Amino acid sequence: MTTLSLSTGLSNRVSARPSSSTTLTTRVHSPRSLEPPAYIKRYDGQLSHLDNWLAIIALVGKVASRSGGNGVLDRVSEVQDRFRLLRVQLATALTEEYAREYEMVLGGRATIAVDMLVRNLFERSADIGFLSTDRTIRAYMDSDGAACSLNIQRHLKRYVAKYSVYDDVLLLDAEGKLRTSLKFPDGDIPRDEALYQALSQSLSQGHAGYLEYFAATPLVPQRHRALLFISPIYQDPAAQSTCLGYLALSFNLDEEMHSIFEEVAGSEYELALLDKDGRVVASSVPQLSLNESFQQAGTEGVEVLMLHGKAYACRQVQGTAYQGYDGQRWHCIALTELSGNAKTQGNVACSSADIDVVKGQLSDIRQQASIIAQQLNLAVINCRVPRD
């Protein structure tokens, strides 16, 4: 099996729009780290207020003390230092929990979507090998084609009716010229030179059983980039003798991604399929343009993108190979709009009950808070107001 993707040309379309040379810089800004939500900032503000009071207490006590070395005041200063450390740890831990929540929901959806596509395309690799040995197709390719043109058209239509994931079936001669297809029965389309070169370098030399070709092509002009599964048609499939031409199945990536997006995305999330270079192939986001680049966005973790002035949290993942098949090395990016406290807290915010049960750092922070409270109580109990 050989896979080939040409970077030139535009991508497939679901809800995305053709891109222009000036669109990207005005619509998509460089990704940035996910900022803490409003509820974490509010908690940090409350802790900052308490920290300020501790600082005032320590300062007033030192001014009022004759010696300036009162043990109780030293205890208050120690409590203040530990409190400041606790404040930083708490804000960091809550922010990490917040980011992990987004990582789970965004990364999970992106992974499911792209792995579903890889699995479905793996099954197509079996289709092409089987169908290329079809007796009716071999008979047509071994003849001049004129006498059985109507018969082959009916035969190809049955293919599409049975294998609904394809939107066209094409038969090419040994030189890569179109003989017939459902869209162009007369084959009056110029040869795709890039495709012919790919066929010459792979299938015609016996280097692979089939070619997976993803690029713009005049053979499928209705697609910005067509996804073709191509296999040689041999006069004798068992001996792989004379090559009569090629069978090409045009995979309907539009319908496939529309179905996957509807099943996986949900009402609050958006998905976009990206090629191996990070460019949009298909998307459920109307604001995204075909061929728009997201090469680095969300690859290392959850990040924030600006689209049309709106902030989106995003996470990008690469598809996992299935039984050794990785196809075009597809990527998928999942996004959700960061549009206010209500939605954000509805998705990922922790209530007071949630905070009580979080693990890891938050458990240690709770213990540290208890120690600080005990020390502060002890300082108050032992406090002696200095006298002049």
Domains and CATH numbers, the chain: 124-254 (3.30.450.20)
pLDDT-derived band at 63 (thresholds 50, 70, 90) equals low
Confidence check: pLDDT of 296 > 60: yes
pLDDT(46) > 80: no
Kindly give the residue spans of alpha helices, DSSP state H, lying in 211-349: 253-264, 341-348
pLDDT in tens, 49-61: 777 777 776 676 6
For the chain, how many residues are written?
A: 388
| pLDDT (0 to 100) of residue 65 | 60
pLDDT of residue 146: 63
| Cβ contact 329:281 at 8 Å | no
- DSSP letters, 104-155, are IIIIHHHHHHHHHHHHHHHHHHHHHHHHTT-HHHHHHHTS-SSTTHHHHHHH
Structure confidence by residue, pLDDT tens digits, 235-263: 888 877 788 999 999 999 989 999 999 99
The pTM of this model reads 0.71
Average pLDDT over residues 76-83: 74
What is the reported pLDDT for 371? 58
